[in-house]
Structure 1
Amino acid sequence: MSELSDIYTGYIACLNSQDWPSLGHYVGEDACHNGRRIGLAGYRSMLEGNYRDIPDLKFNIEILVADPPVVASRLLFDCTPLAMFMDLPINGRRITFTENVFYEFQDGKIANVWSVIDKSAIEAQL
């Protein structure tokens, strides 16, 4: 269990440092996000877009549970999206919210991600 937790915390460190060349150490070539196959290139593109839209984005692990081959995590965000976020006009306001996400690993890399962001928490801050 701790090996998978270590891989996951390394993945989060990779995201927070925006070390995109290293992303392939953590994400599989055929990765799927919320049921849609986007592959490693699409996954990287998605994350780069997130950082363009939210320059101060930082992934903070609040809860981490590993039951191989699955990791469940509650991520906490305190950030400032530049414009629209989840179809909401944030426009530079600071917001806090959580994401509940499950990751399925294959051969030590993320193969599937299922993510739900707490949109109602964001709406309550507007």
Structure 2
Amino acid sequence: MTGADLADVYRAYIACLNAQDWPQLARFVHDDASHNGRPLGLSGYRAMLEQDFSEIPDLRFNIDLLIVDPPHVASRLRFDCTPKGRFLGLGVNGRRVAFTENVFYQFRDGKIAHVWSVIDKAAIEAQLDEHRRMA
């Protein structure tokens, strides 16, 4: 798969997430996918995403930066959303927060096999501190 092909697959994957088109997820995620070293498989990966959307009803994945070097993809995702309750152990409780996630993917057979991600929790903490100061 060329870099351009892989970039197209990744963009289609992000569109699938934003549409919450869970039956199509198998087109993009390998049956034995892992996330941050935890083996989840396709069903566990889907459950993780469904929980994210349940806890953050206005969740939308926005590609801020995309670098492709087959079989790897690196992406900086930008979020602007309102988690309902606790998020990453923080009491967000319906406040709007903006943050980024740096994600690295390894593809196998044209599908995501491994994902490593880090969310900018410090950015969320700073916004919550600002909310408290303004209250």
TM-score by length of 1: 1.00
Q: Distance in 1 between matches of 2:26 and 2:39?
A: 16
What SS does structure 2 have at the residue aligned with 1:97? Answer: strand
Amino acid at match of 1:123: E
Q: Which residue of 1 aligns with 2:20?
A: 18
What SS does structure 2 have at the residue aligned with 1:46? Answer: helix
Identity %: 65
Aligned residues: 126
Structure 1 residues without counterparts, runs of 5 or longer: none
TM-score by length of 2: 0.93
Q: What are the residue-to-residue correspondences of 1:66-85 with 2, within 5 Å?
A: 66-85=68-87
Deviation at 1:7, TM superposition (A): 0.3
Write 1 or 2 for the structure with the bigger share of helix.
2
What SS does structure 2 have at the residue aligned with 1:125? Answer: helix
Deviation at 1:123, TM superposition (A): 0.2
Q: What are the residue-to-residue correspondences of 1:1-126 with 2, within 5 Å?
A: 1-126=3-128
Deviation digits for residues 27-60 of structure 1, max 9, x if unmatched? 0000000001000000000000000000000000
Q: Distance in 2 between matches of 1:69 and 1:52?
A: 31
Deviation at 1:82, TM superposition (A): 0.2
Deviating beyond 6 angstroms after TM superposition, the runs of 4 or more aligned structure 1 residues are none
Q: Computing the radius of gyration over CA atoms, which structure comes out larger, 1 or 2?
A: 2
Deviation digits for residues 76-120 of structure 1, max 9, x if unmatched? 000000000000000000000000000000000000000000000
Structure 2 residues without counterparts, runs of 5 or longer: 129-135
